[in-house]
A and B are shown apart, each in its own frame.
Chain A
Amino acid sequence: MKGRLGIQFHIAIGLLVALLAAFLINAGITTSQELPIDPQKSPTQNPMNTFEPYRTLPGGLLVKIKLYRSLPPEILAVNTLQESRLTPGFDGDGKIEILGRDAQILYSINFSTELLKGEPPLPVDELSMLLILPLIDQAQRIHVITPEGETYFELKE
């Protein structure tokens, strides 16, 4: 049959093919870990933002919000912390943002707006949540958005 490989070349060419395939597989695995920032999932929506969850940071904002089944959300309180570990972002249709001047988004995370409580989780009509956000000098307002509506909290009068 035409095109057959000579047996004497098999091992040498096979090793070259194996090296090439291994290089491509390895390059594929390596680049797969360099995932692009997904604004829907990333806790740091603003590419300028370098805050990371699971790491103790100096300062922070403890934000207490309340979600309702058929009303816009409320921001109940915002307290400053000496140090903090940020709330990581999750999949969900709720969003909390720290806004700077001209409504520039300085920080943003998503959260779930499912009104479930207890174990096993049971539906409720309202739910309070605590979220920890970074302390940012340029921050002007906190903005919470859910499918039911949105609300703002002024940080600096």
Chain B
Amino acid sequence: MNSRNDHIIEQNLEFPTRNILSGIFGPAPVQTGIYGDLSLPGYVVWVNHKPSLAQVPVQLGQTSVNVMALDGGGFSVGSATALNLIKMDDLLGMCRAVTSNNNGLPVNEIWIPQMICNQFHLAEGDMIEGIKVRLGCNNLIQLIHQASGSEFKVGNDPLPPWIRRIITSLGVSTGQFLLFLIPLFIFGWTTLLIGVFTIAFLAILLAIFWKILPGNGWLRGLVCGIVAGSGIAVFLLTGLAWTLTSALLLGAAAIIIGTWMGGILMGFRPIQNS
């Protein structure tokens, strides 16, 4: 175990096992840290996204590299980079941890997926904490093959971050819709339809304005919720001639859903190993 400030970097973690239901309601985080056997010299950088990490033992069995799982809130690399959830400090901390604690084996290079390199403006050959950066694929299995010495061409540029944010938001809103389904349906079809529309609308609104809104996800969600809730209330009052009370109640529901969606788009904190 290695510590940087108050952040503890777990090492020698075991890859998670596959679970069909994981991530059905939203992001699926596992513990951040270094997955694999530290006696191996190869390192790749990834995020703490359970479904992709769980593929490694299934598809590769024994790996010849270690995976440095950064905190991406449980989102995939594409989503985590689009939402700016990965922190450079985490990457630096992991690099320090492996250089100081690798059973004496020198760590010459780390393979970093193209999308993370783009977020941190890293290029092939750059040095981090004395380790050479290698630009790798955006697929974990291919990235591991690259780090093991196989030739893999880095694919085309990924989709622009704003499109990935919208796709991620809609995916998250689908998960939240499943979670909200029964509570909304208890109150009838109309409530269900309005709830689903509000969730999807706020997810798209958050995706569009995510980068320009201040604060963390909760605050961004609150701001989006207030804007959307005010718009909905004004529309109900002027367009549909609803009462002020009903417009305010629907506006309040939008604020609550917006704040919740903003919080979910920050990702989750995983359950820490004791």
Contacts and interface: CB of A to CB of B under 8 A. Distances in A.
A93 to B, nearest CB: 19
A14 interface: yes
Interface stretch (B93-101, B140-148, B251-259): B251-259
B249 A31 contact: yes
Contact of B253 (A4, A8, A25): A25
B243 A31 contact: yes
A17 B260 contact: yes
Given A6-B268, A14-B25, A18-B183, A29 B246 contact: yes
Given A31-B245, A36-B243, A4 B176 contact: no
Interface string B239-274: 011110111111011001100100110111111000
Interface residues of B, number: 51
Contacts of A11: 25, 179
A14 B182 CA distance: 12
A21 interface: yes
B253 A7 contact: no
A35 B243 CA distance: 6
B218 interface: yes
B61 interface: no
Interface string B201-241: 00000000000000011100000000000000000100011
A26 B187 contact: yes
Contacts of B190: 29
A154 to B, nearest CB: 38
Contact of B187 (A1, A23, A31): A23
B259 to A, nearest CB: 9
A4 B271 CA distance: 12
Interface residues of A, number: 31
A11 to B, nearest CB: 6
A99 B263 CA distance: 61
How would you classify the secondary structure of chain B's contact residues: helix, strand, loop or mixed? helix
Given A10-B26, A18-B183, A35-B243, A24 B250 contact: yes
B214 to A, nearest CB: 13
A20 interface: yes
Contact of A25 (B242, B249, B267): B249
A22 B241 contact: no
Contacts of A23: 187
Contact of A6 (B26, B256, B271): B271
A24 B260 CA distance: 15
B167 interface: no
B243 A34 contact: yes
Contacts of B71: 1
B74 to A, nearest CB: 7
Contact of A29 (B182, B194, B252, B268): B194
B41 interface: no
B245 to A, nearest CB: 5
A31 B246 contact: yes
Contacts of B25: 10-11, 14
B195 A25 contact: yes
Contacts of B260: 14, 17, 21
Given A1-B216, A22-B186, 6 more contacts: A1-B73, A3-B216, A14-B180, A15-B183, A21-B198, A21-B256
9 contacts: A3-B266, A4-B73, A6-B268, A15-B179, A22-B183, A22-B184, A25-B191, A25-B195, A25-B249
Interface of A: 1-8, 10-11, 14-15, 17-32, 34-36
Please name the 9 residue pairs, one residue from A and one from B, whose CB atoms are nearest each other, closest first.
Answer: A28-B249, A18-B183, A32-B246, A26-B187, A24-B253, A18-B180, A7-B268, A28-B250, A32-B242
